[in-house]
Structure 1
Amino acid sequence: MSSETATIAEVRTAAPIIHQHISPAPLIRSWRLEQELGLARGRRVWLKDYGWTPVGSFKLMGALNWMAANLERIGDRPVAAHSSGNFASGISFAGARYGKRVIVVMPDTAPEVKFNLTRSFGAEVRTYNIATDHQTGERDRLTRQIAEEEQAIQASPYDDPHVIAGNGVGGLEIVDELRRQHRTLSHFLCPVSGGGLMAGLALAIADGYPDAAIIGVEPAGADDFNRSLAAGERVRLDHPTSICDGLLSYDVGEYNWPILQKHVSTACSVPDEKTCQAMRWLYETHGLRTEPSGAIAVAAALTGKVSLEGEGDVVLVISGRNVDETAFREWIGTE
């Protein structure tokens, strides 16, 4: 792995590692979205739906590649990580595949489905108070404490070249499938939090379709990447807030930033109420349950937050589906 950050070559190297464990998440055409967005005849909209993975999100891709790359360093030691929930189950899945003990630090408010998934693959879970973490730094302190006391190797959920490269394999899958169908690509929309997913996907999309607009989508209350693009440097938010629990990182990762700055042309922010409407639209139109973080790219398209003018297809990333039933019903307004 290069010393600076991930490259497209390293994304390609990660592909056989990922595909040894899981099948590609499907890329599904949405005729209904094409109609809803009023696209010109001949243009298509595709959903890359990571809800189909064994952990219900994209996070196991980076986790698998990180685990495979660090096996020798880990040895008999445990792996420690913090996560809002999806990387927790991803690294837990990777630990189960490679026979490694995993300890994860999760917020006390994480959805029950994310706790259950993480434990189902054998990880030990410890919690912290997310309401005060911006003041106490409890999440990072707990994770460091585990690393020190248990001699654990620490894994980042997003700020690591191996994680970026693993996540980027999904971008190769998108490019391969679109090319197989002789399609062009004009716009690619993906959620941004720490940037581990978008950085990996951006490497592959920019390589396969260099003229495509690569657009980041964030919650309005957690728009550090949008601010970072405007400032030309990484901007940290002290207290990001949103129902999108998977998109509440304080800033984008150090390894992610140069990739994002180079390849992501635009970012937009979406109010939570619009994300809820997109969740409802996906459920009523496609029977698809998504967590808020997973629906936000669709929300950006439906609300016209970005212009989709041009020629070529549009790809929207659905990053995950892990949401508790009660919360889901409340957010889509059917409780």
Structure 2
Amino acid sequence: MSSAKSYFPQLKDITKAKINLNDVILKTPLQKNLNLSEEFDANILLKREDLQVVRSYKLRGAFNKIVQLSKEEFKKGVVCASAGNHAQGVAYSCRKLGIKGKIYMPATTPKQKIRQVEMFGKDNVEVVLIGDTYDAAHSAATEDCQKTGMAFIHPFDDPQIIEGQATVGLEILQDSVEQIDYIFIPVGGGGLAAGIGAYFKQTNPQTKIIGVEPAGAPSMKHSFDAGKVTELENIDKFVDGAAVQRVGEHTFEICQKVIDDLVAVPEGRICTKILELYNRDAIVVEPAGALSIAALDFYREEIKGKNVVCIVSGSNNDITRTEEIKERSLLHEGLKHYFIVRFPQRAGALRTFVDVVLGPTDDVTHFEYSKKTNREKGPAVIGVEVQKKEDYLGLIQRMEENGFIYEYLNEKQDLFQFLI
């Protein structure tokens, strides 16, 4: 394999990947979104990889890699480590090609995702649950490869994986009638951005390539700033499809050449977009799938009147996360606020808070009260949802005017996580 610095995806190899995938993937639609186009005064097109066979683009790279293995490697089978979409892509590929696959997943992986992998792979795939983190599963998978000689299928840092993901870009240019001015691409390990970016730079170099990362895991930006691949110590794993601690060597080198700008989007903003897409367009996306759309706010002025493509990368969202998504959205939009309030231990203190402090449209969504009989004041953890962001100032003013001592929790993350 060529070194990371000397490798750059070639058009002939991307075209070859598309031929490899012709009978395997769906050529997903490139659709104009009327709501987003009106909101941003631009022509916003969505590349709907959420409608792919395994509900994400990951199948493209996985199949393209596996189908090009040698006969000897085919006999031995493949191994991967993943807690999500890559596992499903590998599982589907194994079943389609009739080879054996071993998929290592953290023991903490939700059952829904495990069932999806088993459903796509059927008897061709063995799921091994091990450790509490992706790193533990990855270590076990690579150890297995060393022992058995089975081929390891990397989720992003492999030329044939990158070339498979690049076929998304090939399809976009096949389907677009007008010149594309901007393309927004979610960035995790960098395989999708490297592939699409490399294809566009060789065929449509005037298009601006915008990479989009979650603010809690900006590993590509961190590496760009350092001038080399650099691992993040801690990340927010909420955007699980794009939250990686370390990007790939290949992907980093390619992305340095093809990405025009990188933006990190707050997780709460991503949650707001997930809810908007569902409520306005009946589009179900996972957090990573909403990344590119959530980034449009940061380019509102630049994209006016332009042709813009956003990659909707996947829809494997667990319905049990809905409440967390709503909560993160409300917190980010400034509509939900948590306090520790110290109530005087006298009759009517709570009624005063409800009748006088709360505004007419304010709603108490969380209340935990702990009465200490040997103290004059009892603390309560209170969550209040306001109708408009500016209503928060009135709430604070009324608390202070009525002598309620409070501590604001939203900005104290350690305490917030412990109490809420």
TM (normalized to structure 1)? 0.90
Closer/same/farther in 2, CA of residues 158 and 239 from structure 1, 3 Å limit:
same
Are the counterparts in 2 of residues 83 and 105 from structure 1 also a CA contact under 8 Å? yes
Residue 129 (structure 2) pairs with residue 127 (structure 1): yes
1:176 is aligned, of 171, 174, 177, to 174
Identity of aligned residues (%): 28
2:214 is aligned, of 213, 219, 226, to 219
Residue 282 (structure 2) pairs with residue 287 (structure 1): yes
> Which segment is superposed worse, 228-237 or 82-91?
228-237
Are the counterparts in 1 of residues 189 and 247 from structure 2 also a CA contact under 8 Å? yes
Greater relative CO, 1 or 2 (CA 8 Å, sep 6+) = 1
Residue 65 (structure 2) pairs with residue 57 (structure 1): no
How far does residue 192 in structure 1 lie from its aligned partner after superposition? 0.6
Q: In 2, distance between residues paired with 1:127 and 1:246?
A: 19
Are the counterparts in 1 of residues 219 and 247 from structure 2 also a CA contact under 8 Å? yes
Q: In 1, distance between residues paired with 2:166 and 2:74?
A: 26
Q: In 2, distance between residues paired with 1:173 and 1:108?
A: 37
Closer/same/farther in 2, CA of residues 268 and 128 from structure 1, 3 Å limit:
farther
SS in 1 for 2:39: helix
Letter of the 2:100 counterpart: R
Correspondence for 1:110: 109
How far does residue 2 in structure 1 lie from its aligned partner after superposition? 6.0
> Which segment is superposed worse, 226-235 or 273-282?
226-235
Letter of the 1:26 counterpart: P
Correspondence for 1:252: 247
Are the counterparts in 1 of residues 263 and 295 from structure 2 also a CA contact under 8 Å? yes
SS in 1 for 2:216: helix
How far does residue 28 in structure 1 lie from its aligned partner after superposition? 0.9
Q: Deviations over 1:269-307 (max 9, x none)?
A: 111110100100110111011110111111111x32675
Q: Deviations over 1:165-210 (max 9, x none)?
A: 01101110001111xx2x0111111111111111111112222321
How far does residue 63 in structure 1 lie from its aligned partner after superposition? 0.6
After superposition, residues 180-329 of structure 1 pair within 5 angstroms as 181=177, 183-301=178-296, 303-304=297-298, 308-309=302-303, 312-329=306-323
How far does residue 7 in structure 1 lie from its aligned partner after superposition? 2.2
Letter of the 1:94 counterpart: S
Closer/same/farther in 2, CA of residues 251 and 105 from structure 1, 3 Å limit:
same
How far does residue 115 in structure 1 lie from its aligned partner after superposition? 1.6
Q: Deviations over 1:28-86 (max 9, x none)?
A: 110110111133xxxx1111111111111000000110011114241311211111310
How far does residue 118 in structure 1 lie from its aligned partner after superposition? 0.9
SS in 2 for 1:322: coil
Closer/same/farther in 2, CA of residues 332 and 8 from structure 1, 3 Å limit:
farther
Structure 2 residue runs of 5 or longer lacking an equivalent are: 330-420
Correspondence for 2:98: 99
The alignment yields a C-alpha RMSD, in angstroms, of: 2.1
Letter of the 1:67 counterpart: I
Are the counterparts in 2 of residues 111 and 323 from structure 1 also a CA contact under 8 Å? no
How far does residue 21 in structure 1 lie from its aligned partner after superposition? 1.3
Are the counterparts in 2 of residues 215 and 265 from structure 1 also a CA contact under 8 Å? yes
SS in 2 for 1:221: coil
> Which segment is superposed worse, 66-75 or 290-299?
66-75
Q: In 1, distance between residues paired with 2:225 and 2:91?
A: 36
Q: In 2, distance between residues paired with 1:29 and 1:222?
A: 29
Q: In 2, distance between residues paired with 1:196 and 1:142?
A: 23
Q: Deviations over 1:121-166 (max 9, x none)?
A: 23221234445x6xxx423321122213433211101010000001
Correspondence for 2:397: none
Correspondence for 2:89: 90
Closer/same/farther in 2, CA of residues 171 and 2 from structure 1, 3 Å limit:
farther
Residue 46 (structure 2) pairs with residue 47 (structure 1): yes
Q: In 2, distance between residues paired with 1:259 and 1:310?
A: 29
Correspondence for 2:35: 32
Larger radius of gyration: 2
Q: In 1, distance between residues paired with 2:67 and 2:216?
A: 35
Letter of the 2:88 counterpart: S
Are the counterparts in 1 of residues 41 and 304 from structure 2 also a CA contact under 8 Å? no
Closer/same/farther in 2, CA of residues 129 and 299 from structure 1, 3 Å limit:
farther
How far does residue 18 in structure 1 lie from its aligned partner after superposition? 0.8
Letter of the 1:76 counterpart: K
How far does residue 108 in structure 1 lie from its aligned partner after superposition? 3.2
TM (normalized to structure 2)? 0.73
Are the counterparts in 2 of residues 219 and 242 from structure 1 also a CA contact under 8 Å? no
Q: In 2, distance between residues paired with 1:318 and 1:153?
A: 30
Q: Deviations over 1:191-233 (max 9, x none)?
A: 1111111111111222232111101111111001112222322
